[in-house]
Amino acid sequence: MSQTITLYVDGACKGNPGLGGWGAYVITEQGEHKLCGGEAETTNNRMELTAAIEGIRFCPQDASLIIWTDSNYVKQGITEWIHGWKKKNWKDVKNPDLWQILDQLCQGRQIEWNWIKGHAGHAGNEMADELANLGASQTAAQLKSGSVAAIDKKKPQNDWLLDDPFGFDMMTNDMDTDDTLQETELQKHVDPRLENEIPETSTESLHPQIVMTPAKIQAQGPRQLILDTETTGFYFQDGDRIIEVGAIEMINRKLTGSSIHIYINPEKPVGDSVDVHGITDEFLLDKPKYAEIAEPLFEYLKGAEIIAHNASFDMNFLDMEFKRAGLPTLSEVCEVTDTLALAKNKHPGQKNSLDALVRRYEIPARDRTFHGALLDAEILSDVYLAMTGGQVSFDMDALSQREQNQRKGQRARIEADLPVIRPSANELEKHNEWVKSYQEKNGEPCLFAK
């Protein structure tokens, strides 16, 4: 059975173009591996690409790879733009040598590409950044000692991305207004040689009224998001809208401390639903509309397993809102676990509302006079952990897959010699007498005589 390997890749460049380094932090089921290197004269984008290439080269061909990069140039290039480049036979594409190598390495592999915000305190990304700078430092030391020859500067090539012949406006879609203004100011002082370099832009443009908390615990593994929404009513088909979203992050059954919470102006009265959630029209008046917060919310949620109580309700509303905002539906990019369905399967014929489950599993009481998305998500996280096994007596995270397999094998090899107690002659005689009397009494032999 093939293993799953997580890679964090990053590049660094002193000057752009200039001295550069790349780093790949590889996490396998057996341990961690730290790879790095550098070049005397390069660009940041080339180092980002090289980090991905070297990280993939290090991994077995049959392994399933989860790659995290803080470069949109790499992530969108390999998942979206590369198809156009191939059709144009790589004409006017910058760094075609590295893109073709990366494309060839990806063939036949199972790879999940993810973007992560750089320099945001994420342990994996920070380690990759540290390795990239180490690679640059080692290359600088080799240059100083004369073991690496300096490379002549090359004239930058025009990039097909900037020409955008199909009118996709890919770069402008990646930048918010503030980023564009900053780019304009920076261009006044940019070396002309860098004009064709793809700027590193973030797809995340947080609205000031989005409350997002960073993770306090850095854990490796698939993300689970316990989520809840509040709405103006029950029927998304009839125009009801979302007014609140709350989600908290869990990895390996541990709450990391990361969460997102947003109040949203539904552009319509909340009506009688105010009796459920207590959120008034006046309170929502100055809150952002869904289109304003859709992209950062989508970025936070996508790729995770969504855990919700009566999940179809929340997912129908979220899918409708994201589709209205011009984004993919959330159900296309997330797995979904419905705790209501789990509860009905585990406790058939019983009440399985969130309040009922709180009482059944003796979850510490909270004030729920009014429902709130983040509050309900916190309660649901306790219920989910209790319902799916509670806390374990030892740290499963500390066991590697190999150790767990060994333990299973050891259990399978245990053999016990059970004693066999045979009947005495007297016991056998009494048994036969009982069998005969049973047949005489009932007119047919008993089971032991058949």
C-alpha to C-alpha distance for 37 and 213, rounded to whole angstroms: 34
Percent helix, strand, coil in the chain, to 5, is 45, 20, 35
Does 376 count as an annotated binding residue? yes
- Token representation of residue 197: 């370099």
- Token representation of residue 129: 């950044």
Does 10 count as an annotated binding residue? yes
- Token representation of residue 33: 């591996």
C-alpha to C-alpha distance for 179 and 426, rounded to whole angstroms: 96
For residue 221, count other CB atoms closer than 10 A to its CB. 15
User: DSSP states of 116-156 as a string?
Assistant: --TTSS-HHHHHHHHHHHHHHHHHHHHHHHTSS------PP
Kindly name the residue from 83, 261, 371, 431 that is annotated as catalytic.
371
Does 70 count as an annotated binding residue? yes
Q: Which helix (H) or strand (E) holds 37?
A: strand 32-42
Instruction: Look at the chain and count its residues.
Output: 450
- Token representation of residue 159: 């990039």
C-alpha to C-alpha distance for 155 and 157, rounded to whole angstroms: 6
Q: Which helix (H) or strand (E) holds 21?
A: strand 18-27
Three-state DSSP at 291 gives helix
Supply the Cα-derived Rg of the chain in whole angstroms: 30
Does 129 count as an annotated binding residue? yes
Query: Are 301 and 247 spatial neighbours (Cβ–Cβ below 8 Å)?
Result: yes
* Strand order across the 32-42 sheet: 32-42, 18-27, 4-14, 64-69, 110-115
Angle between helices 44-58 and 123-145 (to 10 degrees): 110
C-alpha to C-alpha distance for 186 and 208, rounded to whole angstroms: 24
- Token representation of residue 261: 């919470």
Q: Is 347 a catalytic residue?
A: no
User: Is the dihedral angle over the CA atoms 217, 223, 224, 230 positive or is it negative?
Assistant: positive
Cα 412 to its chain centre, rounded Å, is 35
> Which amino acids are annotated catalytic?
371
The annotated binding site for Mg(2+) is made up of: 10, 48, 70, 129
The annotated binding site for a divalent metal cation is made up of: 228, 230, 376
The annotated binding site for substrate is made up of: 228, 230, 277, 376
The annotated binding site is made up of: 10, 48, 70, 129, 228, 230, 277, 376
